[in-house]
Amino acid sequence: MAQKEKDALSGVETTGHEWDGLRELNNPLPKWWLYIFYVCIAWSLVYYVFYPAWPLGKSYTKGLLGYSQREELVQKVAEGKKAQEKYLTAIAATSVEDIQKNKDLLAFAMAGGRSYFNENCAACHGAGGQGAKGFPTLADDVWLWGGTTADIYKTIQHGIRADDGDTRGTVGIGMTAFGKDGILNREQIAQVAEYVLSLNKRSTDAAAAEKGKTVYDENCAACHGDSAQGSVAVGMDVGAPPLVTANWLYGGDKATLVETITNGRAGVMPAWSKRLDDATVKSLAVYVHNLGGGK
Amino acid sequence: MSTTTEQQPPQTDLLERPVAVAGDPLAAPSPKAPRRAARSMYQKHSKVYPKAVHGTFRRIKWAALAVLLAIYYVLPWVRWDRGPNAPDQAVLLDLANRRFYLFFVELWPQQIYYLTGALILAALGLFLATSLAGRVWCGYACPQTVWTDLYVWVERLVEGDRGERIRLDQGAWTARKAGRKVLKNLIWLLIALATGGAWIFYFTDAPTLLGEMLRFEVSSTALGFIGLFTATTYLLAGFAREQVCTYMCPWPRFQSAMIDEDSLIVTYQDWRGEGRSLLRKSQSWEERRAEGLGDCIDCFNCVQVCPAGIDIRDGLQMQCIGCGLCIDACDEIMTKVGRPTGLITFDTQTSQVAVATGGQPVPFRLLRPRTILYTLMMLVIAGGIGVGLLLKPGLDISVLRDRAPLFVALSDGSVRNAYTFKISNMTRDPRAYTLAVSGVTGASLSVAGDGQDEQAGTQRLTAGADMVATYRIFVTAPRTGLQGASQPLTFRLTSADGEVATYDSVFMGPAN
């Protein structure tokens, strides 16, 4: 731009830029705004000296203050842990029943239990304890090993058929495989399956069901109870579910019942006291109890 | 590149008529922009020294200043009785406790939409005022204008009027100059401190805070905010002044969209004034007229009193804040030289065009489509806010249905859904409520962990004063009563004193 141009109409100097006959006028900014820009540049230089700034291959300039976001994170996590300590200690020292009665501890255990549950339990039991085939729903009212907070606490601590001295059930032993082990023949299995369907008013073969009752009383009632009310209801700790129910862990249709009776079932859950500390397990017990099914 | 050789055709737009009104703010070269040979991308700041002026507009501006400052300083001290458990400050923005109090109104964070309404109302008010009387907000009511005016007044008291201030600034540093400058800045800082100090009274109980201030027990947060507002007041009103209006504020950039030919604006009658020339004593007005000279005697009083530092005779400009002080200045001169006042006047373009072309002044049109529209919109929004506030409930519920699991089948064949249920008790007393559900046959309610299990029909819940209570609610219904996978379920919460809140949710079950 050799020569200065002035807009004829306004008399304002132009920048020399033109688009389709429209010329850009040069209405300058005040100088002090330029100075603020310079101050920002100066500030960035100061920043380079004190804070991490430039990449150096695999390393970087550390800055005089030695600041690090990761260290800050570690520090914040430590602060958070320290703040939780009071509650965690109290929870560890309180019985699960008493945690339920203490408003503060309950709120803390529920909040913590929720995240522990999502980390450790939801993979099998589903988010919110909705369950899956072979993995009991924790939000309903069926409990194979008891549904009080103390029962749930013990189950989480020691697991089911798990490698733990106090575990529920016996390692490797579940429901007998009546067909595979040759205890019942195919006909008997079909009859007892029909009997179980009849208990739930779904039987289509009354004669077979009638015969199945005898098979049931001889083979099944010992664990599932005389009226198929389940082992919890008869005070046994073997995890035999009630059979008069709308909820079936593996399925309640005849084919699945026959499969179950033939091959047996033996669900396993790990003992969590080996992996989680006591306060965490207690929080989980309280959380699970409040999912909606707790007794 | 094309240059000045290409002349623009004369524009026939009304705005280009002989009235000294140019629609394009760029069309008027500012006297502050010196034509320099070397092109600079930046403009050197030339300090504005507004001269003292007396007249109608100045009186209005003083009155506005006094009233607005009084409101600002007094409002936090106004008390308003809300009962024993509530703050008694009429205007209190209690950020810490998440409550806003405005006289009889108490707002919770989720009611922040009232703020949207208030802001729309304020914007429309600004549009209406501008379409009626130009930038009166900028000239009289904007805090930037009010505090700048106050600071200039202090400056005039300490350093003298325009001429003395220019001489003082240009003169060598003497003890007297240093003394004046120190005194002025001290007073400015005191005003700034009072401004910043008053600001935080809106956010916490004023008498308590003042007590803390006097005992030097103010929290570092409060001190930080006092410092911030003291600094901004001092810098913006003391030094940035008209630069804030010209360079920072977006309003001047689009104000021309709000002004039409029927808006009152500060305008210079160039048809009468042009051929401006100094008045010689030997010259009669008739002789001036014969020589082709106008009424403007080029005394520059209008420029000297202007707080924005512009020359109104260049036409309507973006920098003009519409305060009308130039009118006062010019009227005083016109009276002295015996010419009619109003060479610079506060009038509409329509009227000025009529007068310039020999007609009669056109009366001001208050009712125009845009003023009517703005007013109607303001009434609708104000009405909406008013009705909303009058009917504002003391109870609000929100229900969040569990998504995992969608529903739970119980061993007896019934179906259960879980809900997170929140009760906002927006009153000053703890309240008891009765919860009931409808829409699902045979539905029963229970609440997690309260031991009131499976009561048929209703549940009793409580919420503390001014609190949100959260419950986990289970609704159980026999499968036989369900129609389809999802059906509407309505929660109905009734307080002991009869206030009702309902919430429509759904109840889900198996598809068959």
In a domain, B177, yes or no: yes
CATH 1.10.760.10 boundaries in chain A: 84-170+269-289, 186-263
Q: Cβ-count burial of B363 within 10 angstroms (0-12 exposed, 13-18 middle, 19+ buried)?
A: exposed
Same domain? B177 vs B241 = yes
φ and ψ at A2, to 5 degrees?
Answer: -80, -45
In a domain, B37, yes or no: no
Same domain? B217 vs B288 = no
How do residues B109-144 score in pLDDT, each as one tens digit? Answer: 888 889 899 999 999 999 999 999 999 999 999 999
For position B391, what pLDDT does the model report? 85
Pick A186-263's CATH classification: 3.40.50.1000, 1.20.1250.20, 1.20.200.10, 1.10.760.10. 1.10.760.10
For position B38, what pLDDT does the model report? 54
Same domain? B348 vs B399 = no
Whether pTM exceeds 0.95: no
Residue A141 pLDDT greater than 80, yes or no: yes
In a domain, B10, yes or no: no
Same domain? B475 vs B431 = yes
Same domain? B65 vs B199 = yes
In a domain, B61, yes or no: yes
Residue B238 pLDDT greater than 60, yes or no: yes
Residue B6 pLDDT greater than 80, yes or no: no
Confidence of residue B3 (pLDDT cuts 50, 70, 90): very low
Averaged pLDDT score across all residues of chain A: 90
Rg over alpha carbons for chain B, rounded to the nearest Å, is 33
Whether residues B37 and A13 touch (CB distance < 8 A) is answered with no
Strands B444-447 and B467-477: antiparallel
Whether residues A290 and B449 touch (CB distance < 8 A) is answered with yes
Confidence of residue A237 (pLDDT cuts 50, 70, 90): confident
Domain boundary at B254, B281, B316, which? B254
Whether residues B42 and A28 touch (CB distance < 8 A) is answered with yes
For position B457, what pLDDT does the model report? 55
Residue B85 pLDDT greater than 70, yes or no: yes
Enumerate chain B positions whose Cβ falls within 8 A of a Cβ in A.
Answer: 1-4, 6-8, 24, 26-29, 33, 35, 37, 39-45, 243, 247, 402-406, 408-413, 416, 418, 448-449, 472, 474, 479
A92 touches chain B (CB under 8 A): no
A128 touches chain B (CB under 8 A): yes
Residue B77 pLDDT greater than 90, yes or no: yes
Same domain? B188 vs B231 = yes
Domain boundary at B223, B254, B285, which? B254
A28 touches chain B (CB under 8 A): yes
Same domain? B270 vs B210 = no
- Whole domain around residue B412: which residue ranges? 395-508
The first and second tokens of residue B491, run together, are: 């929660």
The number of C-alpha atoms within 13 Å of A79 and in the hemisphere containing its C-beta is 6
Percent of chain B as helix, strand, coil, to the nearest 5: 45, 20, 40
Same domain? B237 vs B349 = no
Domain boundary at B254, B284, B305, which? B254
Same domain? B208 vs B324 = no
Whether residues B39 and A26 touch (CB distance < 8 A) is answered with yes
Strands B408-409 and A22-25: unpaired
How do residues B259-271 score in pLDDT, each as one tens digit? Answer: 889 999 999 998 8
* A84-170+269-289: CATH class: mainly alpha
Measured between alpha carbons, how far is B94 from A24 in angstroms, rounded to an integer?
49
Q: A56-70, B9-23, B78-92, B409-423: lowest mean pLDDT where?
A: B9-23
In a domain, B504, yes or no: yes
Q: What is the DSSP string of B453-471?
A: TT-SSEEEEEE-TTEEEEE
Partners of A34 on chain B (C-beta within 8 Å) are 41-42
How do residues A162-184 score in pLDDT, each as one tens digit? Answer: 988 899 988 888 999 999 999 99
How far A7 CA lies from chain B's nearest CA (Å)? Answer: 6
Same domain? B243 vs B225 = yes
Partners of A9 on chain B (C-beta within 8 Å) are 8, 27
- Selected for mutation to probe chain B from A1, A130, A133, A137 (highest B CB count within 10 Å) is A130
The DSSP 8-state label assigned to residue A22 in this structure reads E
A131 touches chain B (CB under 8 A): yes
Same domain? B66 vs B163 = yes
Q: What is the number of domains present in chain B?
A: 3
Find the residue in A nearest to B3 (Cα).
A5
Same domain? B337 vs B408 = no
